[in-house]
Amino acid sequence: MQSILKAVLMAVLVAPRLEGFNNDLMLANLLLCNAHCKGSSRPKCENGGFVDHNCECFCPPSLKGDLCQTVETSSACGGIVYVSESKVTEIKTPNWPSPYPAGTKCTWLIKAPADMLVKLTADDLDLPYNSLNRCYHWMEVRYNLIGQLGVKICGEIKGKTWTTTPYGESNLMMVRLDAKFAEDKDAGKGFSISATTAPKPIVEDKSKICTFEPPSDGCFFEGDGNWFVGEDKSPSDYGPSFAYRGQFYAYVDGNNGEDAAKMTYKAPSTMEYCLSFAYYLSGGDLKIHSEDANYFYELWTAQGDQGDGWQKAKVDINAKKDDLIFIIAETGSDYTSDIAVDDIVLKEGVC
Ligand SMILES: [Ca+2]
């Protein structure tokens, strides 16, 4: 199987138009390996959830339910808030403006219609922090990718706003109060925030995507021979148990030793780009570099075992025409350090 996968990846990443290569036969072999979880048995996960290897929804943190349709929160606060155009919904912490109870944790999922953005304003916020400006209790705002940790806000704030962007989960925002982490610290007033919609600008979607799902016309990143296509559970047992999205992903086997595997893309024009991707790291380093005629630039790095799960990352890349953009996987000396990527998206504009 591995040799087939390697051959397919070579075809997909390195030479997608290789003459004489029987793509159809290879893709048929791959599809035979993935006959389950299709059609009506495939759940339609909501709120940023995706289908895992058991054909069940894998939910972003703080969401649960068969389709990720429910919020995990205490009974005193939180829930799903639907906002619509020209309507402002106020969200307040328990007892506002008196202090919230010790140890309170609340989660609100704010949903706008699919063609709208969510706009949030902190009308009044008072949450305790220390002399180093570290938050004892905080409000966390997650948006665009609600599975990814958001900004933590504390102190005394009035009037600050957040708006989702047209990319990603543009009509979803998650707001959390965490007064549990430092439960022994005195509570502040909490927060009173208002949520509403904002118009979604019409954007021409100039994005490039690699999901490694067949049938594929190839990936815009060119991979060297150290990348394989994996499906469901990785052959080595040290990689992911399932793809981040769909059923296939690209990976580098930890058995490669310290060799680096590289995917390369040449910027077609001088432009600001946003590179987003899902990655799985059980050791070694994953790096995003760019290179012009004179220098190379280290733009982003993740190091070491990140646990059993996919992470998401976004990297702003300011590239000139013909600059090279690299995704570099260095598996290190430990044979367990498999590295996988999926859902690589390059969009014009900042992240
Ligand atoms: Ca995929």
Mapped to the 3 state alphabet, what secondary structure does the chain carry?
CHHHHHHHHHHHHHCCCCCCCCHHHHHHHHHHCCCCCCHHHCCCCCCCCEECCCCCEECCCCEECCCCCEECCCCCCCEEEECCCCCCEEEECCCCCCCCCCCCEEEEEEECCCCEEEEEEEEEEEECECCCCCECCEEEEEEECCCCCCEEECEEECCEEEECCCCCEEEEEEEEEECCCCCCCCCCCEEEEEEEEEECCCCCCCEEEECCCCCCCCCCCEECCCCEEEECCCCCCCCCCCCCCCCEEEEECHHHCCCEEEEEEECCCCEEEEEEEEEEEEEEEEEEEEECCCCEEEEEEEEEECCCCCEEEEEEEEECCCCEEEEEEECCCCCCCCEEEEEEEEEECCC
| 5 CA distance to ligand 1 middle (Å) | 14
Q: Give the mean pLDDT of the chain.
A: 83
For 251, counting Cβ atoms within 10 Å of its Cβ (0-12 exposed, 13-18 middle, 19+ buried), the class is buried
Give the pTM. 0.52
Phi and psi of 268, rounded to 5°?
-75, -15
| 321 CA distance to ligand 1 middle (Å) | 29
Q: What gap in Å lies between CA 252 and CA 262, rounded to an integer?
A: 10
The CB-side HSE value for 209 (13 A sphere, CA atoms) comes to 8
| 234 CA distance to ligand 1 middle (Å) | 13
Confidence at residue 335, expressed as pLDDT on a 0 to 100 scale: 78
| 231 CA distance to ligand 1 middle (Å) | 9
State yes or no: pLDDT of 5 exceeds 70.
no
| 57 CA distance to ligand 1 middle (Å) | 15
Strand 311-319 relative to strand 248-252, pairing: unpaired
Q: pLDDT digits over 305-323, tens only?
A: 888 889 999 999 999 999 9
| 278 CA distance to ligand 1 middle (Å) | 9
Residues of the chain with pLDDT > 70, as a percent, come to 85
Q: Give all domains of the chain, ordered by start, each with its CATH number.
A: 2-33+206-348 (2.60.120.200), 73-199 (2.60.120.290)
| 33 CA distance to ligand 1 middle (Å) | 15
CA distance readout (Å), 303 to 236, 242, 279, 283, 285: 20, 21, 11, 7, 5
For residue 140, give the amino acid letter.
E
When pLDDT is averaged across residues 103-120 and rounded to a whole number, the result is 94
| 341 CA distance to ligand 1 middle (Å) | 9
State yes or no: pLDDT of 294 exceeds 90.
no
State yes or no: pLDDT of 6 exceeds 50.
no
Higher pLDDT, 27 or 256: 256
User: What are the structure tokens assigned to 237, written together?
Assistant: 């047992």
Which of 315, 216, 320 is CA-nearest to residue 266? 320
Confidence at residue 16, expressed as pLDDT on a 0 to 100 scale: 33
| 51 CA distance to ligand 1 middle (Å) | 11
| 344 CA distance to ligand 1 middle (Å) | 9
| 343 CA distance to ligand 1 middle (Å) | 6
| 312 CA distance to ligand 1 middle (Å) | 13
Q: pLDDT digits over 173-224, tens only?
A: 999 999 999 999 999 999 999 999 999 877 666 778 898 887 665 688 998 8
167 in Cβ contact with 96 (< 8 Å) = no
260 in Cβ contact with 330 (< 8 Å) = yes
